[in-house]
Structure 1
Amino acid sequence: MPLIDMPLEKLHTYQGRNPRPEDFDTYWARALTEMRSVDPAVELVPSSFTVPVADCFDLYFTGVRGARVHAKYVRPKNVTEPHPAILQFHGYTGNAGDWTDKLAYASLGYSVVAMDCRGQGGDSEDVGGVKGTTHKGHIIRGLDDHPDNLLFRHIFLDTAQLASIVMNFPEVDENRVGVMGGSQGGALTIACAALEPSIKRLAPLYPFLSDYKRVWEMDLAAGAYEELKTYFRSFDPQHLREDEIFTNLGYIDIQFLANRIRGEVLMAVGLMDQICPPSTQFAAYNKITAPKRLEIYPDFGHEHLPGFADKITSFMLGL
């Protein structure tokens, strides 16, 4: 088959190139302690969008550093017993999408929650307050500050906090919660299930935010990863700080969170993906020790993968 990355047999054993910070576990323990100290002040506001089969709400909560985070919450009508819930995360720069996107799962008796990432295309706040450049994207936001101020740290924590909020809704069965998303949403799916290991099932599609150094070495720091190249060109043109920079990016590298996952995993990868190279996705997948299955699409890139949405639905019906 044509290749843009390593042969498939090597992908199955690849363990990643980006350095893992020595204090990675301490870093995330400290982050979770901060998250748990925040009063989320959850607010549900009925939406003007109404349908016969579900109740729709704008959900707001306070995340770390005081940001008000927004999500769309769709709850099936006339379901009296605690039922499963699905959390959905969107692609880079996007938003939670239309209400209609959530109705398929609601029609199956599932509540659905779709989060707007702070500072991107939805209604969640970006409270700022970071030192250094913010040019070109969120991966590098906070890279010139203390690692605790990396923006994706806060976004990862938002996913876990939202999961905890949803699990505590009286209408939701806390033991039957699934998570899904593609690209950035795939990365957040992995981060959410790692930081809230009670997540029962997760379906990441070609996850972003993995193995940054590999992306750069493949000369694919373009498109979604363009900010890596832009950062080096502007702030470290001779790569004198290369080790330091990639190590700091390691705090928000999903491959190092993957081994915390306890839920069952269904993941898909396109072997012609030049946005999120296959090896970077395998670096995360290969570290998952929970039950897992990988669907491989040899001729597809970072695009619609035929049939995978149906596979996710069948998978989530097992909640």
Structure 2
Amino acid sequence: MALFDLSLDELRDYRSESAEPEDFDDFWAATLAEARTHDLDARFEPVDSGLSTVRVLDVTFAGYGGHPVKGWLTLPADADEPLPLVVQFLGYGGGRGLPHEHLLWASTGRAHFLMDTRGQGSAWGGGGGTPDPVGAGPAYPGFMTRGVDAPENYYYRRVYTDAVRAIEAARSHPLTDARRTVALGASQGGGITLAVGGLVPDLVAVAPDVPFLVDFPRGTTLTDRHPYREVGLFLQTHRDRTADVMRTLSYFDGVHFAARGRAPALFSTALEDRTCPPSTVFAAFNAWAHEDKRIEVYDFNDHEGGGPFQEQTKLRWLRAYA
């Protein structure tokens, strides 16, 4: 499909109609406070990855509910002092995979922490290792409607909390410099990046690429692609639940986290992206609170976005921050 969303001029002025809950800040403050009642218990175990230019540590830390969450910390092999830290979040359905799949950021001389996504890790890549021990009510297959009956039960409450704790865990290692922490990710990882950008006040930069989990009122009605479509298919069956579902989703909408963004930001979008429509990305970009922000637009790309071109752009952009 060619262009299907608003024109680029309209996108630059677009604002989401997602209604922010009055208790949004209180909800997240209470959620994170509860998570921090559990000892972070970050453990870093060296692994024999077969790689000679980097050191890889198998990480376990306590996320939401004190549940164990996995990650990889990859360091340049000769690291002997604290390094700028890049914390990365994964796209929908993927897991942390194997260490050799993720070498870009350590190759720049930075520390790289990759968080596994609970309950995911079987759709692409080398797999995941973090279960989600929390049950949920009836849901459409996938993750978008798990626990959607109430914000307190929603799946992404756990994931976003894990992500904040992942940053805390990564910063606890002596070879990472907490003062120079960057968060980034693509698609679902971009949406999680927006969340931590609004919840962690002292990041030095964020880079959400083609972010998912943004502007739910538009995303769930504009595109017929998964994962947004999972919500519509759930509501095809649960016809009387639309208002309740949209209320739950509003607590997890990247637009509202963007309004609290306190770090410089580099976004990207693709104008033929039917998975994460460009208007939803611009909704977050236009709401991003920090004045130092830019967005890369890829005119003829779908959800692959800028791919290696965007990676190159990030490599150059981050030199100014970490």
What TM-score range do you get, normalising by the shorter chain? Answer: over 0.9
Moved more, 279-288 or 42-51: 42-51
Contact 1:164 1:196 in 2 (8 A): no
Contact 1:89 1:114 in 2 (8 A): yes
Q: Which runs of 5+ in 1 are unaligned?
A: none
1:299 is aligned to: 300
Task: Provide Cα deviations, 1:25-73, integer angstroms capped at 9, x if missing partner.
Answer: 2111111211222212112222231322221111011111232101011
What TM-score comes out, normalization by structure 2 length?
Answer: 0.92
State the alpha-carbon separation in 1 of the partners of residues 156 and 258 from structure 2.
16
1:262 is aligned to: 262
Change in 2 beyond 3 A, CA 1:102/1:316: farther
The answer to whether 1:165 aligns with 2:169 is: yes
1:126 is aligned to: 132
State the alpha-carbon separation in 1 of the partners of residues 270 and 39 from structure 2.
40
What TM-score comes out, normalization by structure 1 length?
Answer: 0.93
State the alpha-carbon separation in 1 of the partners of residues 218 and 165 from structure 2.
30
Q: Which runs of 5+ in 2 are unaligned?
A: 122-127
1:212 deviates by: 1.4
State the alpha-carbon separation in 2 of the partners of residues 17 and 51 from structure 1.
48
The alignment partner of 1:84 has SS state of strand
State the alpha-carbon separation in 1 of the partners of residues 282 and 49 from structure 2.
40
State the alpha-carbon separation in 1 of the partners of residues 218 and 17 from structure 2.
6
Moved more, 165-174 or 85-94: 165-174
Instruction: Tell me which amino acid in the other structure corresponds to 1:258.
Output: A
Contact 2:269 2:305 in 1 (8 A): no
Instruction: Tell me which amino acid in the other structure corresponds to 2:264.
Output: E
State the alpha-carbon separation in 2 of the partners of residues 163 and 33 from structure 1.
15
Task: Provide Cα deviations, 1:171-192, integer angstroms capped at 9, x if missing partner.
Answer: 1111111121110011111112
1:243 is aligned to: 243
The alignment partner of 1:175 has SS state of strand
1:77 is aligned to: 77
1:33 is aligned to: 33
Contact 2:73 2:114 in 1 (8 A): yes
The answer to whether 1:224 aligns with 2:243 is: no
1:56 is aligned to: 56
State the alpha-carbon separation in 1 of the partners of residues 38 and 317 from structure 2.
33
1:136 is aligned to: 141
1:304 deviates by: 4.5
Moved more, 134-143 or 183-192: 134-143
The alignment partner of 2:102 has SS state of helix
State the alpha-carbon separation in 1 of the partners of residues 180 and 49 from structure 2.
27
**Paired residues, number:** 312
State the alpha-carbon separation in 1 of the partners of residues 175 and 83 from structure 2.
6
2:209 is aligned to: 205
The alignment partner of 1:283 has SS state of helix
2:218 is aligned to: 214
Contact 1:89 1:181 in 2 (8 A): yes
Contact 1:53 1:106 in 2 (8 A): no
Task: Provide Cα deviations, 1:67-105, integer angstroms capped at 9, x if missing partner.
Answer: 210101112222222111111111101112432243332
1:160 deviates by: 0.8
The answer to whether 1:272 aligns with 2:272 is: yes
Task: Provide Cα deviations, 1:206-265, integer angstroms capped at 9, x if missing partner.
Answer: 0000111112332x14322221112101212xxx43223212110111111112221111
1:114 is aligned to: 114
Task: Provide Cα deviations, 1:104-134, integer angstroms capped at 9, x if missing partner.
Answer: 322322111111100001111201233x213
Change in 2 beyond 3 A, CA 1:97/1:317: farther
> Percent same amino acid at aligned positions?
32
State the alpha-carbon separation in 1 of the partners of residues 28 and 154 from structure 2.
12
The alignment partner of 2:251 has SS state of helix
Moved more, 260-269 or 16-25: 16-25
The alignment partner of 2:183 has SS state of strand
Instruction: Tell me which amino acid in the other structure corresponds to 1:314.
Output: R
The alignment partner of 1:72 has SS state of strand
